[in-house]
Amino acid sequence: MANKNLIIRIGVKGARKTRKALNGVGNSLKGISKVASIAGLGIAGLSVKLAGDFSKSLREISTLMDNVTEKDIKKMSKELRVLSGASGLALDSLSKAKYDIVSAGFANAAESAELLRVSAQLAVGGVSGVDVAADLLTTTMNSYRIAAKGAESVSDKLFKTVKLGKTTIDGMGGSLGRVLGVAGTLGIELDEVLAAFATLTTSMGSSERATTAVMGSIQALLTPTKELDDTELALYNLRVDRFGLVKVN
């Protein structure tokens, strides 16, 4: 079938070097945090309204998780308050990100706590909202069926994409997300997609334009050739219909 190497297909100078850099040794986000003076803040230190809203958010999150007890809710409350103090991120934004993470299928208490921590780290390092960071992180992981233990590695690749390209976490979250599901299903490596995207943003100056170019190249990878037999052609048509892609004659 078609060559799945997106970088070769897209033919962007420097993309191979960028791909190699994505796998560089070390975590670019390690140690990034804002140590706020409210690290030990408790519910008693919050306004009555904020405490009530926070408590409501915790209850909403717990409805998506199995066998949650009052003890578990108190533990979750402490988790979010400590993370808020360490990162400088607001409790309401962390609560929303936590809800989104659990909604994305990471409902286990330990897994959701790890993804929230990594999302907060990515948000601080990438100067974005933690809800945007969490959405981009979980979308990427689900697209490539990556378990929670791989969150740190995926987050590092996303942050390096920002550093190597001309984009932001917000820009990636608003455009690249729709490409990842297709690319992951087709077996196109995450590093290939991110390297192509980062390189294209430097020349195009727009995350949206880079996304369109990457998606166009993925469509081209699916273009049938004269050598395809009936079975391969049927598979091609199935992929086109499934992902709503435009056939290239």
pLDDT of residue 174: 83
pLDDT of residue 36: 34
CA pair distance 72, 84, nearest whole angstrom: 18
Strands, E, within the chain: which ranges?
Answer: none
pLDDT of residue 230: 56
pLDDT of residue 31: 57
pLDDT of residue 51: 63
pLDDT of residue 229: 53
pLDDT of residue 159: 94
CA pair distance 154, 168, nearest whole angstrom: 15
Using DSSP's 3-state secondary structure scheme, residue 69 falls into coil
What DSSP state is assigned to residue 246? P
pLDDT of residue 42: 43
pLDDT of residue 225: 57
Sequence-separated (6 or more) residues with CB below 8 Å from residue 29 = 121, 122, 125, 155, 156, 159
pLDDT of residue 77: 92
pLDDT of residue 1: 40
Tell me if 51 sits within 8 A of 28, measured CB to CB. no
Give per-residue burial for 51-84: e unless 16+ CB within 10 Å, then b. eeebeebbeebbeeeeebeeeebeebbebbbebb
Mean pLDDT for back-to-back runs of 10 residues, the chain (249 residues): 50 67 67 42 46 82 89 91 91 94 94 95 93 96 95 94 92 87 88 89 88 84 59 52 49
pLDDT of residue 178: 79
CA pair distance 29, 72, nearest whole angstrom: 29
Which tokens belong to 145?
């069926």
Which tokens belong to 75?
């533990």
